[in-house]
Amino acid sequence: RDDLRGQEPYGAPQLDVPVRLNTNENPYPPSPRLVAALSEAIADIAGGLNRYPDRDAVELRKDLADYLGNGVTARQVWAANGSNEIIQQILQAFGGPGRTALGFEPSYSMHPIITGVSGTRWINAHRDEDFGLEAERAVAAVEEHRPDIVFLTSPNNPTGTALSLDAIEAVLRVAPGMVVVDEAYAEFRREGTPSALSLLSGNPRLIVTRTMSKAFAMAGTRVGYLAADPAVVDALLLVRLPYHLSAVTQAVARTAIAHQEELLGAVQTLRDERDALVAWLRGEGLTVADSDANFVLFGRFPDRHRVWQGILDRGVLIREVGPPEWLRVSVGTPDEMAAFRTALKESL
Ligand code: PLP
């Protein structure tokens, strides 16, 4: 093939269109103030780039622990190139041939893909009709299959729905192995929606994963991280490649955390924009899943591809993902959302 852009198995084409609302990116690039700080941070370390970086990313882990709060210590934090690499390291440490990982579909497509690559067998369980997950359903699936790893995603991608602490605690009580709660979209939660971070103490088999790709608007930097028992971090140290996180990555990530006030201000803007979008879609008579994330799943379209194509023809790229009659749109800037609303209306 002569196309340099690979498309499989991730399935999210990177098309060159004016409005890209298909991969749940943060639409706000670094501000001039942040760009200046990032340039300074990189200039500060540039004279030492002949040396390998800190293998253990100690300073970054301290900053991430401070950011997480909830009593989380740097010893409980581990960082890698995106939460995708964190998930891969978890599977390398706790999965592998002869082991199993279970997830509740529809959910993040990379969980089964990375599971397969690691030689772990994937077990597909299902969410409720409304894309939530009742404790009883979750417990029944875990008791039936007794997987080595359970993946829970909250807020979930592509549905946007979040889990109750009851459901997570119920899974923790019966799971024979590790329980991963993927919280890539944690910062976009609505008021009152819980995080599994509060369950860390007393649950040594719980792993909470997070990312700087979304709320921190650093998808291009590739920093994901986890909070877990220190023994989990020790297990990942055995499988990580030495020096996996570059000095530049660590410096950029630390600078972004130092500017968290500004970055999290933009998160609030996106949450408001998300709520307005949900209300608008419902007002248009569409079915919309509850969203605690920076994207919204809406439907239902017997021929969703036609609607998706109509929107794309008007310069707006969204995503055909999840159950067959639904579409997912990421929350963008007010101008991008206006373009999306017009494109959708014209495509229906
Ligand atoms: N987890 C979930 C639920 C996601 O939706 C994503 C990305 O979209 C990721 C993890 C991976 O994010 P990253 O590797 O950029 O940290």
DSSP letters spanning 175-217? -SSEEEEE-TTGGGPPTT---GGGG-TT-TTEEEEEESSSTT-
User: Where exactly does CATH 3.90.1150.10 map onto the chain?
Assistant: 19-30+261-347
What per-residue confidence (pLDDT) applies to 6?
66
Say how far apart CA 58 and CA 282 lie, in whole Å.
46
Are 321 and 329 in contact, with CB atoms under 8 Å apart? no
Residue in the structure block whose two tokens are 């923790």: 172
Q: Is 184 in the pocket of ligand 1 (CB under 6 A)?
A: yes
Q: Give pLDDT, residue 121.
A: 98
DSSP 212-281: SSSTT--TTT--EEEEE-HHHHHHHHTTSPTT-S-HHHHHHHHHHHHTHHHHHHHHHHHHHHHHHHHHHH
Ligand 1 center to residue 295 CA distance, Å?
A: 13
Which DSSP symbol is given to 4? -
Ligand 1: residue of 83, 187, 223, 245 to mutate (most ligand atoms within 8 A of CB) is: 83
Q: 30: CA distance to ligand 1 center in Å? A: 20
The verdict on the CB of residue 291 being under 6 Å from ligand 1 is: no
Is the peptide bond between 176 and the residue preceding it cis, with omega within 30 degrees of 0?
A: no
The secondary structure element, H or E, covering residue 27 is none
Token representation of residue 248: 């530049």
**CATH code 3.40.640.10 for 34-259:** yes
- Residue 131 Cβ inside 6 Å of ligand 1? The answer reads no
Q: What pLDDT is stored for residue 13 in this prediction?
A: 75
Nearest-atom index, ligand 1, CA of 24: 8
- For residue 100, the cross-strand partners are 121
Q: Is 113 in the pocket of ligand 1 (CB under 6 A)?
A: no
What's the rounded Cα separation, in Å, for the pair 25 and 22? 8
Name, in order, each residue with C-beta under 8 angstroms of 56's C-beta and a sequence gap of 6 or more: none
CATH 3.40.640.10 in the chain is located at 34-259
**Band (16; pLDDT cuts 50, 70, 90):** confident
Q: State the Cα–Cα distance between residues 118 and 86, nearest whole angstrom.
A: 13
- For the Cβ of 211 lying below 6 angstroms from any atom of ligand 1, the answer is yes
Report CA(161)–ligand 1 centroid distance (Å).
15
How much distance in Å is there from the Cα of 86 to the middle of ligand 1?
10
Is the model's pLDDT at 7 over the cut of 70?
no
Percent of the chain with pLDDT over 70: 97
- pLDDT tens digits for 145-155? 999 999 999 99
If residue 134 lies in a helix (H) or strand (E), which one and from where to where? none
Q: How far is the CA of 149 from the centre of ligand 1 (A)?
A: 18
Q: Look at residue 9 in the predicted model and tell me its pLDDT.
A: 63
**Closest Cα to atom 1, ligand 1: which residue?**
184
Query: Residue 1 pLDDT more than 60?
Result: no
Q: What is the Cα Rg of the chain in Å?
A: 20
The 10s digit of each residue's pLDDT in 92-122 is 999 999 999 999 999 999 999 999 999 999 9
Q: Whose CA is nearest to atom 5 of ligand 1?
A: 157
Q: Does ligand 1 lie within 6 Å of residue 24's CB atom?
A: yes
Enter the DSSP assignment of 286. Answer: -
Give the mean pLDDT of 12-23.
88
Q: Which atom of ligand 1 is nearest to the CA of 213?
A: 15
Q: How many CA atoms are closer than 13 Å to the CA of 39, on its beta-carbon side?
A: 7
Ligand 1 contacts CB of residue 157 (under 6 A): yes
Q: Is residue 82 lining ligand 1, measured as CB closer than 6 Å?
A: yes
What is the mean pLDDT of the segment spanning 301-319? 97
CA dist 348 and 280 (Å) reads 15
| Residue with CA at minimum distance from ligand 1 atom 2 | 184
- 19-30+261-347 in CATH: which number? 3.90.1150.10
Q: Is 83 in the pocket of ligand 1 (CB under 6 A)?
A: yes
Q: Could you tell me which of 152, 107, 150 has the C-alpha nearest to residue 134?
A: 152
Ligand 1 centroid distance, CA of 45 (Å) = 28
* Model confidence band, residue 257 (pLDDT cutoffs 50, 70, 90): very high
For ligand 1, mutation pick of 213, 292, 331 (most atoms within 8 Å of CB): 213
